[in-house]
């Protein structure tokens, strides 16, 4: 996941921030949810509507044939990922499901926020937790599937992995949903039943937050 989008946007530039020394006037939007739930699809539509940047994460996991380095992710080997950690280049980083490492490069996020643009992160629940600690006025939305069979169907529809990997992600998805619904990281939960409805609901939440900030 995590394709990039880029467009200018004039939202939220005059916001009075409670942590003014941190100087991030744009809205940082965290979109979380299980693999296959529709995050990438929703985020593309949000960027189309509001402008802003879809943050490209770094990862040590293997690139699938459909993915492009530098567009969907920065695909790094472990020594390079460790070097980025040592150089303090990540806003947050985490090992997701004890497998691969993922991290959000900080510089592009800060640069876009400083310009008053929206920045969207597609990260896991622990990543969202860590970002909220550093940037408390970020907006965190968790996307839920309408039901489990539909999630499994969408994981298969992505056509990115073999059946064993799909089943593993499906099992992990249930854990991620439990983690999200039992914690207090999220401002809102949105069911992605139909794409237009779910996108409208997330858009309304974003618009509400942008309106509060002016
Ligand atoms: P994620 O980024 O959360 O892994 P994707 O955006 O890649 O999920 O979506 C997974 C698959 O589900 C894609 O094939 C996408 O077209 C499809 N999809 C997304 N939202 C819906 C929806 N509301 N109804 C049916 N299919 C959907
Ligand atoms: P996938 O391998 O399916 O692309 O992503 C697996 C999980 O890693 C998803 O839950 C996704 O949101 C999360 N993820 C992607 N990028 C990052 C990141 O930079 N940081 C964190 N913490 N999680 C990420």
CATH code, domain with 19: 3.40.50.300
Domain that holds residue 96: 6-213
Q: How confident is the model at residue 97 (pLDDT cuts 50, 70, 90)?
A: confident
In this structure, is residue 178 part of a structural domain?
Answer: yes
From the list 54, 55, 77, 75, the residue with the least C-alpha distance to 65 is 75
**Is the predicted pLDDT of residue 115 greater than 50, yes or no?**
yes
**Residue of 1, 37, 41, 180 best suited for mutating to test ligand 1, as the one with most atoms within 8 Å of CB:** 41
Distance 39 CA to ligand 1 centre (A): 7
Q: How confident is the model at residue 212 (pLDDT cuts 50, 70, 90)?
A: confident
pLDDT at residue 85, rounded to an integer: 98
Mean pLDDT on 67-79: 96
Cα atoms in the 13 Å half-sphere on the side-chain side of 43: 32
pLDDT at residue 211, rounded to an integer: 87
pLDDT tens for each residue of 118-161 = 999 999 999 999 999 999 999 999 999 999 999 999 999 988 78
CA 162 vs CA 38, 149, 157, 158: distances in Å: 19, 17, 11, 11
Distance 97 CA to ligand 2 centre (A): 10
The pair phi, psi for residue 101, each rounded to 5°, is -95, 145
Q: What percent of the chain has pLDDT over 70?
A: 88
H-run or E-run covering 53: strand 52-54
pLDDT at residue 214, rounded to an integer: 66
Q: How confident is the model at residue 23 (pLDDT cuts 50, 70, 90)?
A: very low
In this structure, the residues whose C-beta lies within 6 A of any atom of ligand 2 are 1-2, 35, 57, 61, 92, 94, 96, 102-104, 122-124, 127
Atom of ligand 1 nearest to the CA of 42: 6
Q: Which residues contact 69 (CB under 8 A, 6 or more apart)?
A: 63, 75
pLDDT at residue 140, rounded to an integer: 98
In this structure, is residue 1 part of a structural domain?
Answer: no
Q: Is 41 in the pocket of ligand 1 (CB under 6 A)?
A: yes
Output the six-digit token pair for 34: 């299980």
**Is the predicted pLDDT of residue 19 greater than 50, yes or no?**
no
**Is the predicted pLDDT of residue 48 greater than 70, yes or no?**
yes
pLDDT at residue 204, rounded to an integer: 97
In this structure, is residue 76 part of a structural domain?
Answer: yes
Q: Whole-angstrom Cα distance, residue 166 to residue 186?
A: 26
**Is the predicted pLDDT of residue 15 greater than 90, yes or no?**
no
**Residue of 60, 73, 123, 185 best suited for mutating to test ligand 2, as the one with most atoms within 8 Å of CB:** 123
Output the six-digit token pair for 150: 């539909």
Distance 173 CA to ligand 1 centre (A): 14
In this structure, is residue 134 part of a structural domain?
Answer: yes
Atom 19 of ligand 1 has which residue's CA nearest to it? 38
Q: Whole-angstrom Cα distance, residue 129 to residue 140?
A: 9
What's the total number of domains in the chain?
1
**Is the predicted pLDDT of residue 21 greater than 60, yes or no?**
no
Q: Give bridge partners of residue 96 from the DSSP assignment.
A: 100
Output the six-digit token pair for 189: 């939960």
Mean pLDDT on 31-39: 95
Q: How confident is the model at residue 168 (pLDDT cuts 50, 70, 90)?
A: very high
Average pLDDT, the chain: 88
From the list 153, 140, 127, the residue with the least C-alpha distance to 36 is 153
Q: Whole-angstrom Cα distance, residue 143 to residue 205?
A: 13
**Is the predicted pLDDT of residue 24 greater than 80, yes or no?**
no
């Amino acid at each position: 996941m995590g394709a990039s989008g880029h467009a200018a946007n004039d939202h939220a530039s005059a916001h009075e921030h409670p942590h003014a020394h941190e100087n991030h006037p744009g809205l940082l939007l965290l979109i979380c949810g299980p693999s296959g739930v529709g995050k990438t699809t929703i985020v593309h539509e949000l960027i189309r509507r509001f402008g802003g940047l879809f943050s490209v994460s770094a990862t040590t996991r293997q690139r699938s044939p459909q993915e492009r380095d530098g567009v969907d992710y920065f695909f790094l080997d472990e020594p390079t990922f460790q070097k980025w950690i040592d150089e303090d280049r990540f806003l947050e980083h985490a090992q997701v499901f004890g497998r691969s490492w993922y991290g959000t490069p900080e510089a592009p996020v800060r640069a876009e926020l400083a310009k008053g643009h929206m920045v969207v992160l597609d990260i896991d629940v622990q990543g969202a937790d860590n970002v909220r600690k550093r940037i408390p006025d970020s907006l965190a939305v968790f996307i839920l599937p309408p039901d489990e069979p539909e999630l499994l169907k969408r994981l298969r529809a992505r056509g990115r992995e073999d059946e064993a990997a799909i089943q593993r992600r499906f099992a992990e998805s249930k854990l991620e949903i439990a983690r999200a619904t039992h914690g207090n990281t999220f401002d809102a939960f949105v069911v992605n039943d139909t794409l237009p409805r779910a996108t409208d609901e997330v858009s309304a939440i974003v618009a509400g937050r942008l309106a509060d900030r002016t």
